Structure 1
């Protein structure tokens, strides 16, 4: 396990504390619609951090061609109908570009600054001219409105039990997912980013905000700096 990361519950647990069986159960929600609204029909999409394919499946169903990248082979074994690549995202260099590059699941908030720089540079490296990068960021109250919980229509409850500062601008977050037949927990470290700090991180990687896609500014459409 990575420092500050752990997970509990049935099935395989990845080094960052993600439970494969849990992520196979989580619904895509409205995220595929948000993504589809920001990219051309039939676009070639590079999905960075695809996991088990929670977004891959609905994106393919909307007519997109998806290349799914994840560092967990156990996660990628669940992906169907898409090209898959196993390895660290920050080291990815496919020598090809895509209409859209997707960095979801709050990956931009990784606690490791060098990894974050690598993630964003991988995004910039793989986006085609005229293409875009779609990034999901934490909500403004993600680390302050705790504890909190939400009952999902799919029949489970997700609870953010705590978010505690551990130094250096990093928080350790503890999340719980309760299903009728199983419970999973995940502890991970994240770096909160103000809107200004987020946009500065983009500029450092050669990207800039084109527009925020949701009212809460958790989904962002970025483009290469012109």
Structure 2
């Protein structure tokens, strides 16, 4: 196995292990470079006008960015990790924590993927949604991902993809309404672990946290209820 990665320190409740650069929220740059794109480009393209300007918040290493660029979208990709942004090609890149982002411009489509709405700290979640609202053009769509309804049930469990295995190892109470999740990604030549916090949201809670920031759910975009289109209230 390759050597362990490095970071300057983790946020409380977060952690990671594995080779290469590791971000404070427990994301490994090399892991995110390897992870395959799934249905995200198709879901986004089903809503976004052809060639639209997209603001992607938390782009990571460009896993979703690159297929969107290939489809002709004009992507502004935002991440707080310089190491992540160094992997992004073909998009305008901005290094910033999402909560602090203020580009003084708006976009017809804003993306908040990777279940970021489930941030364990409610103030972080509010900051994320305020950034989305701040950059959403009149009549625009915020496309975001919710956790699957069974995200914290039936653990441990595995998912096998070509070339690697994802293990959701555990989900345990961490604070009121918050769970600490541990995942492992096993490749033939390396293993990464990631520990993070999640605040589960049922449908009522989902609508409530959006309403706090002047947003409302408009349309479920995937049968599993993970992808949603959100608009200004």
Q: CA deviation at 1:87?
A: 1.1
- The match for 1:174 among 182, 187, 193 is 182
Q: CA deviation at 1:129?
A: 1.1
Give 3-state SS (helix, strand or coil) of 1:211's partner: strand
Q: Distance in 2 between matches of 1:38 and 1:28?
A: 18
Superposed CA offset, 1:136-185 (max 9, x none):
01001101221111001x32110100000112111000000011111110
The yes-or-no answer on 1:26 pairing with 2:35 is: yes
After TM superposition, the runs of 4+ consecutive aligned structure 1 residues lying more than 4 A away are none
Q: CA deviation at 1:30?
A: 1.2
Aligned length: 224
Q: CA deviation at 1:45?
A: 0.2
Partner of 1:133: 142
1:47-86 alignment, distance < 5 Å: 47-86=56-95
For structure 2, which runs of at least 5 residues remain unmatched after alignment? 1-9
Superposed CA offset, 1:21-54 (max 9, x none):
0000001111110111111111100000000111
Give 3-state SS (helix, strand or coil) of 1:84's partner: strand
Q: CA deviation at 1:217?
A: 0.8
- The match for 2:14 among 5, 10, 17 is 5
Q: Distance in 2 between matches of 1:138 and 1:81?
A: 29
Q: Distance in 2 between matches of 1:85 and 1:140?
A: 32
Q: Distance in 2 between matches of 1:59 and 1:113?
A: 30
Give 3-state SS (helix, strand or coil) of 1:200's partner: helix
For structure 1, which runs of at least 5 residues remain unmatched after alignment? none
The yes-or-no answer on 1:204 pairing with 2:206 is: no
Q: CA deviation at 1:76?
A: 0.6
Q: Normalized against structure 1, the TM-score is what?
A: 0.97
Q: Distance in 1 between matches of 2:191 and 2:97?
A: 28
